[in-house]
Amino acid sequence: MSMIRTITYGILALLAMTLLVACSKGNGSREAGGEAGHGPVQMTAWSDRTEVFLEHPELEPGKGATLLIYLTRTADWKPLASSEVHLVITPPAGTPLTVAAKGTKPGLYRAEATFPAKGAYRLTVVIGGSQGEQIELPSLLVGEGHDHGEGEHKETAASDRKEGTPHDRDDHGDHAAETKQGGGKEPAHAEHDDHDEHAGHGGHDSHDDHEGEQAHDETGKAHAHAASGAVGAITLTKEQQWAVAFGVAEPRRMDMASGLTAVGELVPVATAEAVVAAPLAGVVSPTRALPFPGKRVAKGEVIAVIDPPASLGGGMTQLAADHAQAMSRLTLAQAEYDRAKRLVEGKIAARKRLEEAEASLEAARAVATPLETAMKSVQGGSGGRITVRAPVSGTVVEVPAVNGSGVAPGQTLVRIVDTGRLWLRVNLPATDLGKVGRPAAAGTTFTVTGLPGEFHTSGLVSDGTVVDPQTRTLPLVFAVENRSGNLKAGMFARVTIRTGTAKGVLAVPKEALFEDEGRWFAFVQISGITFDRREVQIGTEDQGMIQIVSGLDEHDRLVVKGGYYVKLASQGGATADPHAGHGH
């Protein structure tokens, strides 16, 4: 029994020591300002010309702190290099303090400041001297940590929002501040000016919310937002943004042409496709190479030469003889039909004779017609060779024959399609017929996956008269000009048939949206370096803009250029780590 007690006490002692060590690790000190155990506070403000992204540690009265300011031009989203950047820090009571920010690299500035007393300090970034641009950021909280009390407005963090739900905002459209605390030890900052630094990094165990404050510059409103990196958000650092083509903008209200969307397929025009067949038996001569798929051929161009078979009586001689015999039979049948018709009209012969003569005429014509066509498309050569020519201009899309192989009469040599003009075949659901009426070609557009831009139809070929009983759709056929040759027969298209105009709808550029298994998403900027993947419902498309039915509001800032890089970051599992992508 004493041995059991000894083992039990030993286990309990070991557990107690483990808990003690774990607790002691959570109280590491910070070497770059701020109270131990808190992560950096991130703030973002936007004006018409500039984005300001600021980071600082937890601020304590009487202690110095490093503030990092990232300036980005909103015209091209590249780093803003200015010869003069100042911070105007206004305490709750007293005289404002002006601090110069020193540039460490293009777009990155560093300022050192000491806050004498506890409270909320107003912060204004001045770019280009006293007469330059002034952008106000959310208040700096000194000695208050992240606890604002129960009376202040709070907003749900990005990690707690459901996809497809717009940001909650107060009546002024302000963004809420997001902060988090942790117990990790803060790494020291390098003191060299040419290093990219973060002020006051810490752990990431929990987060609370700060209220965002609306800021103004000399040109108008500047939206402000404070955050320390929402858990689960996607991170793309300022250096990464500056290195690629990138851009952020708000959705805008506009009038858009409304319409119905359907799936269509590009097909060859019925009269612009020709199958070239062997007019008689023979061998495809190796002396004339058959055209390859994709080659453009002109009407009348030689595309094949057929040598006569080894047996006597073949080749061009046989074709000419067969043609002459068929034409003779056709002439006799036509004469007999004319004679029988006169006799029947004169009531000299029975009507049955006319019917028999008509049947004989049709049979003779059926034999003579293909031979007549063959004689027009071929040209006799020496030794009974037959030269086959293209009946239409176009592109060779299929070559089933092979040089040196034998062919039978009627066997396909090549297939030619004129792709300079295509048809767009659309199956419109019967339930939408009342919304469209007779569709107008001028108001019908389509897009093709993999091809940039929007395409227009040039005419309505057929508006259909009968609904397909199996699919319950009405077939529509539009003409499409394809002089560039970029469109290919067999491609599928997303077709929009215009039905009217939607007034004042929310719209975003098409390149701002990404499709994933039939669902559409956009990347919304939460702070200067963090983004949220938001599901949206889309409506009509017009001139490169897509209507947003739900999922965004007009104050959201979404990535409209360079979203591919944010998507890569999201697939790589990037989170809003303040340390990510920055040098120390």
Q: For residue range 401-422, list pLDDT tens digits in order.
A: 998 888 888 889 999 888 888 9
Residue indicated by tokens 């039990």 = 8
Reduced to 3 states (helix: H, G, I; strand: E, B; else coil), residue 367 is helix
Mean pLDDT in residue range 194-214: 39
| Tens digit of each residue's pLDDT (9 = 90 or more) over 330-369 | 898 999 999 999 988 888 888 888 888 999 999 988 888 8
Give the residue among 246, 201, 206, 266 at the shortest CA–CA distance from 425.
266
Rounded Cα distance, 584 and 581, in Å: 10
Burial label, 365 (beta-carbon count in 10 A; 0-12, 13-18, 19+): middle
Q: Return the ∠ at Cα 157 (arms to 154 and 158), rounded to 5°.
A: 145
| Tens digit of each residue's pLDDT (9 = 90 or more) over 292-339 | 998 889 888 998 988 877 554 455 666 667 777 888 888 989 999 999
For position 212, what pLDDT does the model report?
Answer: 38
Record the tokens describing residue 554, joined without a space.
Answer: 């007009």
Record the tokens describing residue 379, joined without a space.
Answer: 């040209």
| Distances, alpha carbon 524 to alpha carbons 251, 421, 535, in Å | 11, 41, 10
- Calculate the CA dihedral of residues 100, 105, 108, 113 and round it to 10 degrees: -30
Q: Which residues contact 41 (CB under 8 A, 6 or more apart)?
A: 55, 56, 57, 58, 177, 179, 200, 210, 226, 227, 228
Q: What percent of the chain has pLDDT over 70?
A: 71
For position 288, what pLDDT does the model report?
Answer: 87
Q: At what angle do helices 315-345 and 351-377 cross, to 10 degrees?
A: 150
Mean pLDDT in residue range 127-138: 86
Higher-confidence position of 24 and 371: 371
Record the tokens describing residue 476, joined without a space.
Answer: 């529509």
| Distances, alpha carbon 520 to alpha carbons 163, 504, 514, 535, 546, in Å | 11, 21, 6, 6, 11
Rounded Cα distance, 194 and 232, in Å: 31
Kindly report the average pLDDT of the chain as a whole number: 75
Say which DSSP state 165 is in: P
Reduced to 3 states (helix: H, G, I; strand: E, B; else coil), residue 423 is strand
Give the confidence band of 506 by pLDDT, cuts at 50, 70, 90. very high
For position 36, what pLDDT does the model report?
Answer: 40
In order, the DSSP letters of 293-341 are: TT-EE-TT-EEEEEEPPSSTT-HHHHHHHHHHHHHHHHHHHHHHHHHHH
Rounded Cα distance, 507 and 479, in Å: 29
Higher-confidence position of 417 and 216: 417
Rounded Cα distance, 507 and 538, in Å: 9
Q: Are 422 and 267 in contact (CB under 8 A)?
A: yes
Q: Are 301 and 390 in contact (CB under 8 A)?
A: yes
Q: Above 60 in pLDDT, residue 203?
A: no
For position 128, what pLDDT does the model report?
Answer: 86
Record the tokens describing residue 18, joined without a space.
Answer: 């483990």
A 10 A CB-CB count for 145 gives: 15
Rounded Cα distance, 566 and 564, in Å: 5
Rounded Cα distance, 496 and 224, in Å: 39
Mean pLDDT in residue range 477-504: 86
Rounded Cα distance, 235 and 152, in Å: 28
Record the tokens describing residue 283, joined without a space.
Answer: 């061998």
Mean pLDDT in residue range 28-49: 62
Higher-confidence position of 53 and 18: 53
Q: What is the reported pTM?
A: 0.51
Q: Above 50 in pLDDT, residue 553?
A: yes
Give the burial string for 330-353 (b: 16+ CB within 10 Å, else e).
beebeebbeebeeebeeeebeeeb
Mean pLDDT in residue range 369-389: 69
Higher-confidence position of 421 and 382: 421
For position 231, what pLDDT does the model report?
Answer: 42
Q: How many residues does the chain have?
A: 584
Reduced to 3 states (helix: H, G, I; strand: E, B; else coil), residue 534 is strand
In order, the DSSP letters of 170-224 are: -TT-PPPEEEEE--SPBPPPP--TTS---SS----SEEEEE----EEETTEEEEE
Q: Above 50 in pLDDT, residue 76?
A: yes
Rounded Cα distance, 582 and 238, in Å: 9
Q: Which residues contact 514 (CB under 8 A, 6 or more apart)?
A: 520, 521, 522, 523, 563, 567
Higher-confidence position of 490 and 34: 490
Higher-confidence position of 421 and 378: 421
Q: Above 50 in pLDDT, residue 30?
A: no
Q: Above 60 in pLDDT, residue 71?
A: yes
Q: Above 80 in pLDDT, residue 578?
A: no
Record the tokens describing residue 195, joined without a space.
Answer: 């290093």
For position 246, what pLDDT does the model report?
Answer: 95
- Mind listing the domains of the chain with CATH numbers? 41-231 (2.60.40.1930), 253-267+420-561 (2.40.30.170), 270-417 (2.40.50.100)
Rounded Cα distance, 363 and 333, in Å: 9
Mean pLDDT in residue range 175-179: 35
Reduced to 3 states (helix: H, G, I; strand: E, B; else coil), residue 228 is coil
Burial label, 215 (beta-carbon count in 10 A; 0-12, 13-18, 19+): buried
Mean pLDDT in residue range 8-35: 37
